[in-house]
Structure 1
């Protein structure tokens, strides 16, 4: 049975590679049959059937079904427990779907699918995905110049304090505000904040970043990203209360964020989950605190701030933090661990 299946999928990929596809996928054409054989050995017969039908007959329903099957496998457990063959299967399915999108002129959808393949797929077909993204991006690129007189900034308006407070958790900006230090030297940062494990906002240190203007320019973003899938935080996006094991400098490039910080010493009072995968996350929803279930939270001291464009926030390891985007937002995190001799 396996030998018959192998001949079948080999024929399907030979036929697919000889057709006049607009996207070249040399690795998929060369390794597709071998990959499908490996998937079948792990019980993926239904996936193989759908993927073969997509490659052989150009069936869009079969292509999307195969992608959904692989997607389910990627979410069958912790990421490190997912078999690598299913990550490659997801990449394969994304290429099949994207090829059909391109043939139908659906370039934006093709780019979305290809980006998902890059984000969630394996390494085997990455060169094909990268090449396909480059080609589809070139096909989809809008060359028309926008009106030079219009305001093309991504974030334009200023926020009213009353408007901000209405969207924040109770007691926000009423306790201790995170210290803000302009032009803080490296020596001063290490001596006063890093060694003591204290948060601080460093201002006036990002003015030279080209991203400060480019990432707030819709024309620039459209030119370099176009229809690509990229992470952008919209107004109201919330990162629930959690902590990270590393040092972190959060650089706010575009937009504003509200951030609340609790020291690591208050971990017990913040009711972390007991499950291994969630033990760095709090059960407490700061936007709707259940004081009956979590009575210790209400009176805890915290530091908070509104992180403005061009500012960096140092978050020490294990400090609990809650983040809410107040505008459309781009930020960059720099994580690092202590050096061990």
Structure 2
């Protein structure tokens, strides 16, 4: 067996936090909450007694019960207390696996807690993952995956872009200039020479192999299907290495897989140190009294051909390209009627039109809608204003980072 680091073990011995959860959870005892908490308390006791097999079984029992609550109805409507209790179950499951020397199972259980739960105990799950990962020594491949894929991709060139529709490029403008000419006017622009200092683009340059070495053992959500508007579209949780093997390096796979709009850097801090939030994200709208200073950072990683259908978001967006290239087309907000949004509330921010193969009989006004376009290259930032419609297609294996604020 492998002993947990003392600081982690001692934090799991402290009952104060779990007592706070119990008091909050009393309001939902009609849904079996008391039974769940009784099991959780016994689970905690088994862990203190170092009866790890029993602790593991009880933790799994808690997770199985709470899983049903997490997957009933709209995710946004799930009370956060259920997610916290799920996290407790994941913590004890992961800690038991660690103590039993089952390190990969420990990391897998921890990731489920991070993805489905809520932060507790100073996000102890990240500490458990770090301790487990430090004990795992993955085999390095003698030949780089990236070398084998270097020539793959859609050889779409910048000169294929209509010069009249090309998005303006600007080298590292001042914050004041960017605010005055683009942020306030809601004009898109490509910014160059802004993120060259990122380790992900230099000293610790990201590649397929590097991502696999650092995070291949981590469980992540993957979108399966070409577009999220398709009836066959679904999501699966899987290790990043499996995603790479099945959807990135295996050309014969008929399905499309995409790690899309995921807060990967919150889940895996080792990757977060390779990027930085651009200074432009500190600019705020003086006319908006309800300002949220939070910057939401999302990862987008997938093979050539992944598509984000034409849609808009309510945020300012700096879209950073780290690996590969993407073709992006933008339609201004005032063209909303001409891009034919879905009539349903759920998809009201998404166009019904297939941008590159439009059906003009069904959507005749789309032919007259004005747009801008570009091919974004590694090291470039694209500013996408709020409610600006955008369509994205990967020309290569691609990794992008979006900063919403």
TM-score (structure 2 length as normaliser): 0.61
Deviation at 1:263, TM superposition (A): 0.9
Matched, 1:332 2:396: no
Q: In 2, are the aligned partners of 1:175 and 1:303 still within 8 Å (CA)? A: no
* 1:30-109 alignment, distance < 5 Å: 30=15, 31-32=17-18, 35=21, 38=25, 41-45=29-33, 47-48=36-37, 58=54, 63-64=59-60, 66-102=62-98, 105-109=101-105
Distance 1:287 1:72 in 2: 41
Deviation at 1:160, TM superposition (A): 5.8
What does the per-residue CA deviation read over 1:248-267, in whole Å, with 9 as the maximum and x for residues that have no partner? 22111222222121110111
In structure 1, list runs of 5 or more residues that go unmatched: 1-18, 166-171, 337-341
The alpha-carbon distance between structure 1 residues 201 and 24, as it changes in their structure 2 partners (threshold 3 A), is: same
Aligned to 1:197: 186
Work out which of the residue numbers 341, 349, 352 in structure 2 matches 1:280: 349
Work out which of the residue numbers 377, 383, 392 in structure 2 matches 1:314: 383
What does the per-residue CA deviation read over 1:125-170, in whole Å, with 9 as the maximum and x for residues that have no partner? 444323312221222244x7775xx5475896245655x59xxxxx
What does the per-residue CA deviation read over 1:53-75, in whole Å, with 9 as the maximum and x for residues that have no partner? 86656376664454244344334
Q: The residue matched to 1:279 in structure 2 has which SS?
A: coil
Distance 1:210 1:105 in 2: 33
Q: In 2, are the aligned partners of 1:155 and 1:216 still within 8 Å (CA)? A: no
The alpha-carbon distance between structure 1 residues 335 and 75, as it changes in their structure 2 partners (threshold 3 A), is: same
Higher mean displacement: 296-305 or 235-244: 296-305
Q: Which has the larger radius of gyration?
A: 1
Higher mean displacement: 250-259 or 229-238: 229-238
Work out which of the residue numbers 296, 301, 304 in structure 2 matches 1:233: 301
The alpha-carbon distance between structure 1 residues 34 and 208, as it changes in their structure 2 partners (threshold 3 A), is: closer
Work out which of the residue numbers 365, 370, 378 in structure 2 matches 1:301: 370
The alpha-carbon distance between structure 1 residues 268 and 101, as it changes in their structure 2 partners (threshold 3 A), is: farther
The alpha-carbon distance between structure 1 residues 51 and 296, as it changes in their structure 2 partners (threshold 3 A), is: farther
Work out which of the residue numbers 150, 157, 177 in structure 2 matches 1:157: 150
Matched, 1:130 2:123: no
The alpha-carbon distance between structure 1 residues 73 and 218, as it changes in their structure 2 partners (threshold 3 A), is: same
Distance 1:72 1:215 in 2: 41
Matched, 1:207 2:196: yes
The alpha-carbon distance between structure 1 residues 271 and 105, as it changes in their structure 2 partners (threshold 3 A), is: farther
Deviation at 1:327, TM superposition (A): 3.0
Deviation at 1:292, TM superposition (A): 5.7
Q: The residue matched to 1:282 in structure 2 has which SS?
A: coil
Distance 1:257 1:288 in 2: 17
Deviation at 1:314, TM superposition (A): 1.2
Distance 1:228 1:267 in 2: 39
Q: In 1, are the aligned partners of 2:55 and 2:92 still within 8 Å (CA)? A: no
The alpha-carbon distance between structure 1 residues 155 and 193, as it changes in their structure 2 partners (threshold 3 A), is: farther
Aligned to 2:237: none
Over aligned residue pairs, what C-alpha RMSD do you find? 3.9
Work out which of the residue numbers 223, 226, 247 in structure 1 matches 2:316: 247
Equivalenced residue count is: 308
Q: The residue matched to 1:58 in structure 2 has which SS?
A: helix
TM-score (structure 1 length as normaliser): 0.71
In structure 2, list runs of 5 or more residues that go unmatched: 47-52, 220-263, 265-298
Aligned to 2:109: 113
